[in-house]
Structures are given as structure tokens and as C-alpha cells.
Structure 1
Amino acid sequence: MTAPSTAPAPPSRGGRWIQQWDPEDETFWKETGEKVAKRNLLFSVLSEHIGFSVWTLWSVLVLFMGPEYGLTPADKFLLTSMVTLVGAVVRVPYTFAVAIFGGRNWTVISASLLLVPTIAAFTVMEPGTSFSTFLLVGLLAGIGGGNFASSMTNINAFFPLRKKGWALGLNAGGGNIGVPVIQLAALAIIGASGGPRVLLGIYIPLILVAAVLAALFMDNIENVKNDTGAAKDAARDGHTWIMSFLYIGTFGSFIGYSFAFGQVLQNQFGRTPLEAAYVTFIGPLLGSLIRPVGGALADKYGGAKITLWNYVAMAAATAVLIAASMEKSLGLFTVAFVVLFVLSGLGNGSTFKMIPGIFHAKALGKGLEGEAAAAYGRRLSGASMGLIGAVGALGGVGINLAFRQSFLSYGSGTGAFVAFLAFYAACFGVTWAVYLRRTAAKGTTTAAAETKPQLSYAEV
């Protein structure tokens, strides 16, 4: 039973700084913490949502870019690959920015920065612009991918371990849904015979609204500080890189397919921009909505178990895609692709829930307990999230480059899907071998093993 908390409501200094924050204290959480955490979660989701929309902006803009723009399918896949790459790389510094500036302050800054790529795209988006200019402006949109890392790091600090799967899943899912929202907006604009500048003109004021609301309603947590030792420890820990590999399979698939789906429909099945736009939003929408479900299932049954069977389902859906691609069956191809989106979203939730659970299990294996174990888990999981998010996003680069090469070599995406199937099989093998075959007791000291009961990684 948790002792009653005597902590008052979190006091603040100027700029909405919370000086005391202990979400693991059940009394504090019920009386004060939950309300504050949920308020910050709401506005974090809004900012991250628009960040995702800006990041995936060019997956939509390329649908507007007909023959008059002079770009080949390979040019378009290269463009979206580079945008994805920048989004992956900036996730690392964005993770540490939360502790430097404060979660609320950095949300305001990072939201405001989204104006740069949006206004730049508005300026150059017309036939006659060189490919190199499009590529340079597209690279700017990559900063939208960084918002995810800072948002997840910030929200991870607000919620207790028992609520992290739900909270992180909702935060990420609400952000991910920025992908289908901008695709739906593009569908409406294309259907109304509007141009790409109309779409960009809609998002510029929305970015300003997100920044203002973050400034008014979010908070900074005083005791969230950058711990260079934690970053080094996380980088040296094998679980950081194992989870990065698994996150490539889930989030890398989600973001990579989000960029590529419309182009595949156009290039392989001859769909018009409007016909492609009618279906491209469905997969990212369902994949985003189900991400919190993946986190909640992981809370209940264990992230490793959900992740393992999710990879089985992803491999099965990919096999169907290969068959549909070879048979040129548009209907089956579309359904299987949407199912794969849903599964990638489910896996996003379960894999990200595993991260704090793994490091908490390691703390227990070291003989720590209570707040000491929770603090150890928060320290390493927070430090590892940026690296895992960055490496996972690189999967989106790989997917677009694989599609580019597949279309150059075979004239279809079939070759790329075969490679993806092999990768999902590898992810299944790693999940089973590391988190379900072995227990957390392995790798800990004999003394700790003799004195403390061990958690299995299957429970994380």
C-alpha cells in the first residue's frame, strides 16, 4: 500500500515550471498528477500531429506533381526518402532538447519551426522549379519528424510506469494520425481542382495555433534534465539497439508505406492522383488509430508477446501483397496494404511500451525496488527513446529506396515486398530469441538472482 502523499500541488516558477513531480506516488497521481499529465498530453498530441503532417507533406505534394514538373518516379521516391532521412536524424537532438529548454518551451519552439518548410514549399511549388530545389525544400520538411521524439520523451516523464503504454500509444497515435489527415485534406483539394498551395495555405495558420496553445496550456518539469551518462549507458546497452531494430519493422514500415503507398498505386496500377488519394489515407488512418490499442494490449498481456505475433501477421499480409502484386489484383493489393498499415500501427504501440518495461525489469534484476527501480527505468528508457525513434524512422528511408530500386529493376514493387517479408521474419526471430526465450534473470549477478524474484522480459 502506498503511503499517503504530503506533496502539495506542483508549484511553479515563471514560465510554467513544475518543481515537484512524482507520478509513481498513487496519492499524488490521483489528486494532482493525472489532471496535469492529461492536459499536457492533449496539447503534445496536437503539436506532434501537425509535425507529422508537415513531415509527410511531400508524400502528398508528389501526387500533385504531374508530367509538367518533369520528375520521374525514381526522382519522387528519392525525394521522399531524403525527407524521411532528415526526420530520422533530427530525432536525436530533439530528444535532448526537452531537458535543455523544458517540454512546454520546446513544444512551442518546435511547432513554430514548422513554418519554415511549409512557407518554403508554398514559395517553390510550381512547374519549372528544379529537382534540386524541390529536394532542398523537401529536406526542410524533415524537421517535422523530430517532434515525435521530443513529444514522446516529454510525455514519458509525466506518466507512471503502469500508464505509459496507454499514454505513449495515445501520444504517438495522435501524432501519427497527422499523416492521413493531410492526405484527406489533399484528397479534398484535388477533388475540388485546387492546387498544392491551397493545402500549404491551410497548414500555416494551424501551425501558429498549435504553438500558441502549447505556450498557454503546457508545463515544463523541473527535474527532467539531460543526463549524458544516461545517454552513454543507453547507447552501450544492447537492448537499445535491439529495440531499434524491432522499431524499424513497425514504425519504419508505417512511415515508409505512408510516403510510398500513393506512388506505388500510381506507378504500378496506373491510378490517377485523385484515384490514389481516395485510398492512400485509409491505411495511415487505421494504423494511427490502433496504435494506442497496441500499447494497451501490451500493458495487459506483455509487449513482447503482442510484438511477436504482430510480426507473424505482418509477414502474412506481406505474402498476400506479393501474390496480389504478381497477379496485378488492385483490390487484393489495396486491402492487404491497408491491413499491413493496421498491423504496423499495432506493433508501434507494443514495441514502444516494451522500452520502459525492459529497463524497469533490468532495475529489478539489479536488486533495486520501488522508486529506485522506477528512477533507473525512467533514466535509461528516456535516454534510449530518441535513439530508438531515430533508428526506427530510418526504416522509412529503406522502404522508399527499396521501392525506388524495385521499380527501376522490375517495373513494380514486388521485389521490395520480398525484401520486407524477409525482414519481418528476422524481427520475429529476434523478438522470440531475446524477449521470450530468455528471462530478465540472465545477465544479472548471481547475488541479485538469489535475493530477488526476476521478471521475465515476456512481461514487459
Structure 2
Amino acid sequence: MPVLPASVRTALTRDHTITDWDPEDRKAWDSGNAEIAKRNLVWSVICEHVGFSIWSLFSVMALFMGPEYGISLDQKFIIAATATFVGSCLRIPYTQATAKFGGRNWAIFSAIVLLIPTGLTMMLMMNPGEFGFGWFLAVAAITGFGGGNFASSMTNINAFYPQRLKGWALGLNAGGGNIGVPVIQLIGLLVIWLAADQPEIVCAIYLVALAVAGIGAAIYMDNLDHQTSSARAMLDCLKHRDTWLICLLYVGTFGSFIGFGFAFSQVLNISFTSAGAAKPALAAAQIAWIGPLLGSVIRPYGGKLADRIGGGKVTFWTFIAMTFSAAILVVAGSIADANGKVITGGVLTAFIVGFVLLFLLSGLANGSVYKIIPTIWEHKAQNMSGLNAMGKTKWSRSMSGALIGIAGAAGGLGGVGINLVLRASYKSNQSATVAFWVFMSFYVLAAAVTWWFYARRPIVVGETTDLPVAAPAEGSAQEPTTGSGSTDKALA
């Protein structure tokens, strides 16, 4: 009988609950807490990554669903929208789950539960024509559980990392999860190329991946005893104007990413068919993964850039660039419409360039918006009276975790909107040009909101550092700090 390695046996038998975790304690951080946080981040990314892949499973299955399945183009958009909608709504309860059950415990559950929709999808794809639209709709809804993973994972990692590293850590966590979208599309491309009539192979691969993610979470992750997300915090969040503004911005960033992630392959399939490609599904699969990959890879750097120059500034200029990228789609679509809805090689190239740029830019802004979130509450906490330093920290973490879940849900619903707007545009005009106009107009609005509230006057917070600072002027009041000093830094 094989013997487990000593490191694995130790990990299995150790206590997985951590008490009194304080990421702002520099000495404890440098003495080992950084490694603990990193270990939890790695497996959080893995679980979220696989969850994202299952959430977007039907964006790949749609390429395999020929006439024999009896699913129309219109119904494919509804299936994608259903998966996006359920995943978005589940982000609210998933945000609370880490506080109630523990980050490790919930990561295990969220990986294992996804075995159900993955197995059911395999059943549907292996039996073309035997299951109707209702079955596909129901199973797509269950894949939405993978979308909820984002909120629980982000809330968990937010509690592990100090304020000075949240932009990078949250960006890395989210980017690693987002990359599940292009990875499953690449696997789908490989299966289309090698065995076009066996989509169940994709499902089989992810059944194994889910088992690995669940077991890894059980061995290597930890629960924090003071996760602070709560239903009360979510209700309190809704009383603040910033909550609604961040939701609007996240609709434009993550909503664009996940919405295009679900729809891009279908738009390409339609476009390649119009352009007369011999194998439009294969041609679409060869390109569809590029945009989500670039958007996922760049997301951590959006957070890191926001750490350096401010989330508001990065987000503003990104929305400006997204407006011009959407304009490429508008111009290309208008040319095709004027040409009798016929998509030429030049128009198809413009579509691909415009969409890839939108993926890249939305990924960058995803990271920068999520840097703004903890900064908002840290700033508000520092200006609160009646709370000691620890009370302010707990309040800030609780509100940050709550807004992460709320904004994540709003962003996902933005993805639903993208699929529905594209469906309506194709249904009424046999092209996506009207949808492209809607997208461009929204990015203009988001840029204006970002500039007015977060870019022209950056939020300033006090950050604990190891650098000494000048003593306060005589007679001025200063709250005692637990660190060696504090310095003001514009972060948002």
C-alpha cells in the first residue's frame, strides 16, 4: 500500500484553523505569515480557476451542439445567460459562506458540488437529441455554482493579506480564476481538433480537475477564526453611495469580461459562417480563447498598477480605451450592415481586434476596481469615531468583503446583460451592431463616473509601514498605532 509523503501527512493532521490572524503585523508577516497566506492563495486560485471553467462550460459545449441536438442559436444565448445569471446571484450567499463555514471548508464544498453539473453535462452531450432545451437550461443553471466561487475566494483572500498588498493579491486571485475561461476553451479546441464528436472528453477532464482541487484545498488551506463578512455588513453596504458606484464600474469591467467570455465564441461562429468558412466552429475555437486569456493574465497587473498610481486613475483611462475599442466594433458592424450583413475578411479582423482589446482592457480594470474597494472602507474607517484600531480594522474588512460579493454579483449580471443585448440585436437586426453601440455608450458613462468620484480626487488612506514619520505638531491629536509608524498614501 502506497505511503503518503511526510509533508502531506503533516498537512492532513495539523489544525487547519488559525486564530488571531493580523496581516498588518509586519513582524509576524515576515516570520511566516506571508508563506501561510501564499499557500492559501495558491489553492484558492486553483479552486476558483476550476469553478470559472465549469461556469463557462456551455460556452464551449455550444460549439459542439450541431443541428442534431435541436438547440437553436437563440436558445444558445439563453443557455449562456442562464448560467451567468445563476452564478452572479450565488455570489451574494457565497460571500457569507467563508465567514460561516471557513475558507478551507467552503473551498472543499464548492469544488466537490461542481461534480454534479459536470457529470450532467457529460450525459447531455453524449446523447444528442434525447434531451430538450429545458434540460440544457437546468444543467446550465447548476453550472452557475462555479460563478459563486469567485466571491467566497476573494472574500477569503482579502482577509489573509495586508492593505499594502491587497491590489496584487486580489488581482492574482481573481486573474487566476478568470483564466479558467480561456483554459476550458483551449481544451475544447483540442478536443474539436482531435475528436470533434466527443465533447464528453472535456467534461471528463474537469471531473478529475475538480477532485484534485477539492483534495488540495482539504490538505493545504486554512480557516480563519475571524472572517468578518456578514449579512448585516451587506445591508450596511447598500446604504453607501460608493457601493452602487463600484457596482456600476464592475458591470463595465467584469461584466464585459464574463459576458464576452460566454458570447465571443458564438459571435465568432456566426461571423465565420457568414464569411463562408468551411469549419466555422473550429475557426471560432481557434481564436475564442485568446481574449479571455489576455484579460485573465493582465488582471493582477491592473491591481499592481493600482497599488502604485491609484485604482481610480487606472480604471478611468482603461474605460477611455474600452470606449475606443468598442468604436472599432461599431464601425466594423456598420460596414457589414451596409454590405447586406455580409462579413468580409476585413470586418472579421476588426471584430477580432476589437473584442481582444476589450478583453485585455476589462481584465486590467477588473484588478484596478478591486483595489478601490478596500481603500474606500479603510478611508471611511480611519475617519470614524467610537472605534479603536482593531474595531476599525474589523469594520473595514467586513465592509470590503461584503462589497466584493455585491460588486461581483453586479458584474456577473452585467455579463447576463451582454448576452441578452447581443441576442436581441441578432434577433431584430441579424447583426450585433446595435449591441456594440450599447456597449460603447456604457463605457463612456463608466469613464465619466470614475473620473468624477475616484480619479480627479484620489482617496487618501493612512497605511502602516516600517518607515518612521515626523512627530505630530504640538497640541495635535493623534491616535496611537500598533505599527512603527504611518504614512499617507493615495491608493484609489
Do both share a fold (TM > 0.5)?
Answer: yes
Match of 2:469 in 1: none
SS at match of 2:20: coil
Q: 1:432 aligns with which of 451, 454, 466?
A: 451
Counting aligned pairs with the same residue, the percent is 49
Q: 2:214 aligns with which of 211, 215, 218?
A: 211
Match of 1:154 in 2: 156
Equivalent positions of 1:51-450 (< 5 A) are: 51-125=51-125, 126-128=127-129, 129-194=131-196, 195-270=198-273, 272-327=280-335, 328=343, 329-366=347-384, 371-438=390-457
Q: What is the CA-CA distance between 1:185 and the residue it aligns to?
A: 0.2
Match of 2:3 in 1: none
Cα gap change, 1:131 to 1:33, in 2 (>3 Å): same
Letter in 2 for 1:459: L
Deviations 1:140-160 (A, max 9, x none): 111000000000000000000
Letter in 2 for 1:178: G
Distance 2:85 2:18 in 1: 35
Letter in 2 for 1:425: V
SS at match of 1:236: coil
- Is the 1:293–1:346 Cα contact (8 Å) retained in structure 2? yes
Q: What is the CA-CA distance between 1:268 and the residue it aligns to?
A: 3.0
Letter in 1 for 2:160: F
Q: What is the CA-CA distance between 1:13 and the residue it aligns to?
A: 10
Q: What is the CA-CA distance between 1:325 and the residue it aligns to?
A: 2.2
Deviations 1:163-214 (A, max 9, x none): 0000000000000000000000000000012421111111101100100000
Deviates more, 1:232-241 or 1:143-152: 232-241
Distance 1:14 1:191 in 2: 45
- Is the 1:73–1:267 Cα contact (8 Å) retained in structure 2? no
Residue 47 of structure 2 corresponds to residue 47 of structure 1: yes
Distance 1:262 1:397 in 2: 16
Q: What is the CA-CA distance between 1:383 and the residue it aligns to?
A: 1.7
Letter in 2 for 1:413: A
- Is the 1:78–1:401 Cα contact (8 Å) retained in structure 2? yes
Match of 1:445 in 2: none
Q: What is the CA-CA distance between 1:346 and the residue it aligns to?
A: 0.2
Match of 1:444 in 2: none
Cα gap change, 1:226 to 1:319, in 2 (>3 Å): closer
Q: What is the CA-CA distance between 1:234 and the residue it aligns to?
A: 1.3
Distance 1:234 1:391 in 2: 14
Q: What is the CA-CA distance between 1:336 and the residue it aligns to?
A: 1.7
- Is the 2:118–2:143 Cα contact (8 Å) retained in structure 1? yes
Distance 1:97 1:372 in 2: 22
Gaps of 5+ in 2: 1-11, 336-342, 461-475, 480-486
* TM-score, normalising length: structure 1: 0.92
Q: What is the CA-CA distance between 1:229 and the residue it aligns to?
A: 3.1
Deviations 1:70-105 (A, max 9, x none): 222111111100110000001111110101110001
Match of 1:447 in 2: none
- Is the 1:268–1:412 Cα contact (8 Å) retained in structure 2? no
SS at match of 1:90: helix
Please tell me the root mean square deviation across aligned C-alpha atoms, in Å.
Answer: 2.1
Distance 1:384 1:348 in 2: 14
Letter in 2 for 1:180: P
- Is the 1:91–1:145 Cα contact (8 Å) retained in structure 2? yes
- Is the 1:247–1:348 Cα contact (8 Å) retained in structure 2? yes
Letter in 1 for 2:128: P
- Is the 1:85–1:393 Cα contact (8 Å) retained in structure 2? yes
Deviates more, 1:343-352 or 1:13-22: 13-22
Distance 1:457 1:306 in 2: 16
- Is the 2:375–2:459 Cα contact (8 Å) retained in structure 1? no
Distance 1:179 1:74 in 2: 22
Gaps of 5+ in 1: 1-11, 442-449
Deviations 1:115-165 (A, max 9, x none): 010001111223212111111111111100000000000000000000000
Letter in 1 for 2:263: A
Q: What is the CA-CA distance between 1:364 and the residue it aligns to?
A: 2.3
Give the structure with higher Rg (CA). Answer: 2
- Is the 1:243–1:388 Cα contact (8 Å) retained in structure 2? yes
Match of 1:32 in 2: 32
Distance 1:20 1:363 in 2: 20
Distance 2:423 2:229 in 1: 39
Deviates more, 1:194-203 or 1:283-292: 194-203
Match of 2:482 in 1: none
**Alignment: residue pair count:** 440
Distance 1:331 1:451 in 2: 62
Letter in 1 for 2:140: G
Cα gap change, 1:62 to 1:452, in 2 (>3 Å): farther
Cα gap change, 1:226 to 1:156, in 2 (>3 Å): closer
Distance 1:154 1:168 in 2: 10
